[in-house]
Amino acid sequence: MDSAAGTPSTPAEKVQALLSQVQHAQQSDEWFAARRTLLTASEIFSYLPGRRGNPHLYQPDSYTRQFGDQDRSRPYSTKQDLLLRKVAPDVNPFRENAATRHGKRFEAIANRWYEINTGSTLYEFGLIQHPRYDFLGASPDGISAEGVMLETKCPYSRPITGSCPFGYWVQMQIQMQCADLDECDYLECEVKEITENVYLRETSPEREARGEIGCHLGCYFLIRKTCVTRIQRDQQWFAAVLPHLKETASELNRLLNDAAYRQKWIDTIIKKKTNRY
């Protein structure tokens, strides 16, 4: 603890400070309502300006040194669709698909594997708002007692190669900023549901002890492949992207608080979508 300022200074102290904060539990009604007023970490990739003319935002040195410059993945949603979902959720509701259902179903299994195989204890958090830029929020998959954040992905079909899609790197950068932490482990876990017969044939005390096979909430599972990659916070990248996020936050704030402007904007978006199809 920084006695002069009275603020936490070590990662472990920061975790304890976060645990003392009142937060909305993930997936609660309050959590969903709060997320609609914020730019959240998983959305930030969609809020970045176009690639042309902004290579420093899409190919920062800290990313290319670790993963190369071959990633050309695109956001899952457009900025327009995300803002519409926030200000008019009935018009543009979020719809789960097979990939998102798969990821949510096996996340707890992957997190448990991480705890067992790294010797870490993970704490769960709700929605963490940035201490300075309160228009930013993040809901991490876990933070260890030592102050290492965890972001877990259980790909539905994408192969695990040891690389990190740029959009996920962006998500982790914002999560670290919101929690004021410097490290995040990116865990990829290939998990498959298996039958009870396969479980009985493949299981062993050693594999169960390592969290590789087991039964969770009535689902027999087998972990086929894992990869853990340590990501470092990039303050320079955040400083470069911050002005763009402030602009988007200002736009969202007007949409939420100016009813006439909001309705005109919604009507324009719906008209464009109708004409497109």
Q: What are phi and psi of 228, to 5 degrees?
A: -120, 125
Q: What is the pLDDT of residue 24?
A: 81
Domains of the chain: 11-189+224-275 (3.90.320.10)
Q: What is the pLDDT of residue 3?
A: 44
Between CA 253 and CA 259, with CA 254 as vertex, the angle to 5 degrees is: 120
| Residues 244/79, Cβ–Cβ less than 8 Å | no
Q: What is the pLDDT of residue 76?
A: 86
DSSP secondary structure string for all residues of 85-126: HHH-TTTS-----HHHHHHHHHHHHHHHHHHHHHT--EEP--
Q: What is the pLDDT of residue 94?
A: 74
Mean pLDDT per 10-residue segment, the chain (277 residues): 66 94 83 93 94 86 91 86 93 79 92 96 94 96 97 94 95 98 98 95 95 94 97 98 97 97 94 73
Q: What is the pLDDT of residue 277?
A: 57
Instruction: Report the alpha-carbon distance of residue 202 to residue 31 in Å, rounded.
Output: 40
| Residues 149/196, Cβ–Cβ less than 8 Å | no
Reported pTM: 0.92
Rg of the Cα trace of the chain?
Answer: 20
